[in-house]
Amino acid sequence: MKGRGVGIVLVLVGLGLGATLLRDQVPVGGAQAPAVGAAADPVAAEAGARLQNEQNTIDVVGRFEPGLVFISTENEVMGQDPFGMFGGSEVQRGLGSGFFVNDAGDILTNYHVVAGESGSGAAQKISVRVMGQEQSVEARVIGLAPQYDLALIRPVGLDAKLIRPIPLGDSDALKVGQKAIAMGAPFGLDFSVTEGIVSSTARQIPIGFSGSGASEGITQKAIQTDAAINPGNSGGPLLDSGGRVIGINTQIYSPSGQATGVGQSAGVGFAIPVNTAKNLLPRLQAANGQEVRAPTLGVTAGLLVRGQQQVLAVGLSVLSSEGKRELELPERGLVIGEVAPGTPAARAGLRGGTRTESFRGGAIRLGGDVITAVNGKPVDALEDLQAGLIDRREGDTVTLTVVRGGESREVKVTLDETSFR
């Protein structure tokens, strides 16, 4: 698995990868309260509280663990032969987790759990196994969302009685310190459970795959938890004390991964907020097996450089300060190359470049706008702009800070149906 970060590695927690209905709150049981008079005894009170918490965890696990799914994938890849003497191929296998979200059998998981060779598209074979069953069944892809690191799959021929959806909660209502229960298959140990707390509700980390040729994901809000999460937990649910899904386990922060290349839990795990998945679910369900992309404004990047294998869109920070002063450009920002007609950007009056200037290793479109911030957050690449749009819906308005002719101003852009095509 490929890590991210500097010094300490941010690791996707799927195993063996080549690239590495809303319901009412379900009440859960608790232990009986201590008898009258026991509260005066601090030892008894502590024991009672401990037992109550334990019983809550037992109840949540007993009711909702059957909704957990063990996922395995297979990709046929060319065999590694440094001398080129032998042909043939080998099967690359991956493991991860997922969970049922509705009675139709739709399973939500991470994109990287079901991704194909080198993290592109879907795996050639996806199989799922539910709790209490020895045999796996094949699953088909309903929708993929690489930028969100989410995917929706559905088992083929699974007995409907085995489909046990887990209710989805509200990640916007989370409080630091509340209980968090992680379910999944760490190191292939399927149907495992760990418990901790919500350590942070708005940690900003790179999630998913940007789609611009870079391996880094789009910076998004994530839930941080100290519930043990390890390789194989990817795609599994993070639950609250009511048994509702509050997040989808996706990555770990691993100091050991820097040295070994294999991340292990250090008490800092991350989950995609369930509200992100809830907003995306209708699009995934209508995707017909295809990819769902983050919303767009209708602009293309105007600063391109030649990478080792392809042309990359980059921000102004890659240019020298002297060159930017000569071109009267800000220190950082996303140069707009073109604005597509009939898009939110066009309706907001944004302008693309009018002339192209080449330089060693790339080219830049000049004469148009430069986006320097979205909703007050700095922008220096397409990924930064996408980060400001990724949790938005049709009809939402974003505020861009735009530099035109050396003057900075704010422009409001409203997303419409064209943003989600």
Sequential DSSP letters for 337-396: EEE-TTSHHHHTT----SEEEEETTEEEEESS-EEEEETTEE--SHHHHHHHHTT--TT-
Distance set, CA 337 to CA 134, 283, 324, 334, 381 (Å): 55, 29, 16, 9, 13
Let me know if 254 is a catalytic residue: no
**Tokens coding 118:** 């080198």
Q: Where are the alpha helices (DSSP H) in 167-320?
A: 255-260, 274-285
Which of these is catalytic: 72, 199, 234, 254? Answer: 234
Let me know if 149 is a catalytic residue: yes
**Tokens coding 3:** 């890590």
Distance set, CA 14 to CA 18, 203, 248, 250 (Å): 10, 20, 12, 8
Cα angle value 152/150/221 (rounded, 5°): 145
**Tokens coding 253:** 């922060």
CB atoms within 10 A of CB 2: 16
**Tokens coding 265:** 């839990």
Contact between 330 and 324 under an 8 Å Cβ cutoff? The reply is yes
Which of these is catalytic: 59, 72, 112, 254? Answer: 112
Please state, in angstroms and rounded to a whole number, the distance separating the CA atoms of residues 54 and 29.
11
CB atoms within 10 A of CB 412: 10
Please state, in angstroms and rounded to a whole number, the distance separating the CA atoms of residues 294 and 150.
12
| Chain centre distance of CA 248 | 8
Contact between 120 and 146 under an 8 Å Cβ cutoff? The reply is no
Please state, in angstroms and rounded to a whole number, the distance separating the CA atoms of residues 207 and 273.
11
Contact between 246 and 174 under an 8 Å Cβ cutoff? The reply is yes
Let me know if 226 is a catalytic residue: no
Which of these is catalytic: 59, 149, 226, 380? Answer: 149
- Positions annotated as catalytic residues are 112, 149, 234
